[in-house]
Homo-oligomer: A and B are copies of this chain.
Amino acid sequence: MPTAPEALQAAATAIRVLTVDAVRAAGIGHVGLPLGCAEIGSVLFSEFLKHDPADPKWFDRDRFVLSAGHGSMLLYSLLHLSGYEVSLEDIGQFRQLGSNTPGHPEVGHTPGVETTTGPLGQGVGNAVGFALAERLLAERFGEGVVNHRTYALASDGDMMEGVASEAASLAGHLRLGKLIVIYDDNGITIDGKTDVAFKEDTAKRFEAYGWHVQKIDGHDPEQIRTALKNAGANEEKPHLIVAKTQIGFSSPKVGTNTAHGHLSDADVDATRLGLKWELTPFKLLDTAYEAFKPVRARGKQEHEAWQKRLDAALAKPELKELWERMVERKLPANLDALFPDFSKEKAMATRQASGKIINALAAEVPSLIGGSADLAGSNNTTISGSKVVAYGDFAGRNLAFGVREHGMGAIANGLVLHGGIRPYVATFLVFSDYMRPSIRLASLMDLPVTYVFTHDSIFVGEDGPTHQPVEHVAALRTIPNLQVWRPGDARETVAAWRGALLRTGGPTALALTRQNLEPFEGPGIEEKARRGGYVLLDAAEPELVIVATGSEVSISLEAAKTLNG
């Protein structure tokens, strides 16, 4: 039901005033997007978004991603107006150390924030991951249990970033029809008018990806409403809503790149005057909340109805177990027993061991869903007996990402953030660079993504220097909260995969070989390797200590034996 026009306008005005006040108080920040998208945000959060502010983690809520994370004051304002635990006092602490309203939205830090954004393009990729997770889980649990939309608000910068292009192409391919991206087409970037560097026809580009595209005036609530309704009525294609807006709307700097950042005191005062807002900072009239009044009750009602459907569905023991395994992340009690026993195997590449491990675990760890950026065969990532996920067929567990490493990384983050999926994604180690910004964000967000990086060293040989990783393991090790394993034989690969699976607070990178490696001798290698490092060959009074990982361990062992005479 559409909100009364006055109520909606009061909400939009409140967003604008909170934004200029918060950015003024912080002395730094970005007013442009919140001022430009206040109507979009108000209509979306008050009329369309399925959410229960009393339980920001409700599993079947619609997801909202502010891909243009610098516009964080829009999100904080909307969360406050909707009734999340973001108070006016919190907003008064915008960008202060320890506040729950940081400069860019951070998941896990502020109730209602779904993902950490700021580095442009990533949020669009995350949103594709959310929408893909939704389809994968709806297929497994039914649409009574999983059936929600994913919304994202993106800026010009998001549209220019390659990671978003890659993810958008894959979303079109998979026809993720419950994904709705609103593009804040304000024609301004930090350096000035976008046409200084960006004249493409973005709407046409997204049509080429297989998206349904609408163009609207982003300040007209009725047009926003109609576009969102149309998008909701067509689930055959993902949706791009190109919303023409004026950056910094209602401020004296409207339509200029000055409005991207923060406003002068005089401009803040003029903005407030223009909006007829005479209250002290961080105070709102009751009318500001009018449009959002139905939100909590509606959310509660929908949530309760869903809970009943969930309870009914989980009456089936197999679905209950699946729910525990996937959504509640419960690992099988006999996890260690599930790993293959490599103790009697001959020389084997660790990528091959990894492939056997994935397949050995697959049946009991149904959340393990993953794939490769067009190197599934080389990366040994295919779950045999399972199909490639495709439009109309989301039952499979093999994801074909195409040659889109960066999009894959951002989508994997969205799969974890959604919940229910424990993704592994793969490419050659040398191409880990292509997805590094997403790996960094997974680390920052504590997301247990597993990266299967094969062809781990100069032993790839004849493909030459473009394909020989030299610095990549060292470079990955510099990322805080990323765990990097470089197993030296098949049994160490068990330890590595076990570490990845048991980890809940961050991602794991596995650097695996193409070439065969001799197995280490002796018992308990799987257990020893869990420590990260251990002694393979000892001497009473060593004159020389050789330290090695992965590809080089068996060579080093040989060297040590030779040196020992």
Contacts and interface: CB of A to CB of B under 8 A. Distances in A.
Contacts of A390: 196
Interface string A166-197: 10011011000000000000000111001011
Contact of A463 (B104, B372, B374, B403): B104
A199 B169 CA distance: 8
Interface in A359-406: 372, 374-378, 388, 390, 400-404, 406
B400 A191 contact: yes
Interface stretch (A111-119, A139-147, A282-290): A111-119
B162 A197 contact: no
A358 interface: no
Contact of A200 (B26, B173, B478): B173
A157 to B, nearest CB: 4
Interface stretch (A57-65, A206-214, A328-336, A416-424): A206-214
A210 B200 contact: yes
A201 interface: yes
Contacts of A207: 201, 204, 208
A202 interface: yes
Nearest to A203: B208
A500 B388 CA distance: 48
Interface residues of A, number: 84
A440 interface: yes
A196 B400 contact: yes
B433 A197 contact: no
A205 B199 contact: no
A323 interface: no
A379 B243 CA distance: 30
Interface stretch (A40-48, A308-316, A464-472, A535-543): A464-472
Contact of A478 (B194, B404, B444, B471): B471
Contacts of A402: 160, 189, 194, 196-198
A165 B205 CA distance: 11
Contact of A156 (B172, B403, B466, B467): B403
A191 B200 CA distance: 31
A299 interface: no
A55 to B, nearest CB: 26
A361 to B, nearest CB: 22
A33 interface: no
A418 B352 CA distance: 42
Nearest to A116: B466
A466 B478 contact: no
A400 B203 CA distance: 22
Contact of A404 (B95, B104, B161, B196): B161
A317 interface: no
A204 B467 CA distance: 32
Counting from the closest, the 5 A-B pairs by CB-CB distance are A162-B162, A197-B402, A118-B466, A157-B403, A204-B208
22 contacts: A103-B467, A104-B464, A106-B465, A116-B465, A118-B464, A119-B431, A121-B403, A157-B374, A160-B169, A160-B402, A161-B404, A161-B434, A162-B162, A165-B165, A170-B197, A173-B199, A191-B377, A191-B400, A201-B208, A204-B207, A470-B480, A478-B478
Given A95-B462, A207-B208, 9 more contacts: A103-B467, A118-B467, A160-B166, A160-B404, A161-B166, A190-B374, A204-B208, A433-B437, A471-B478
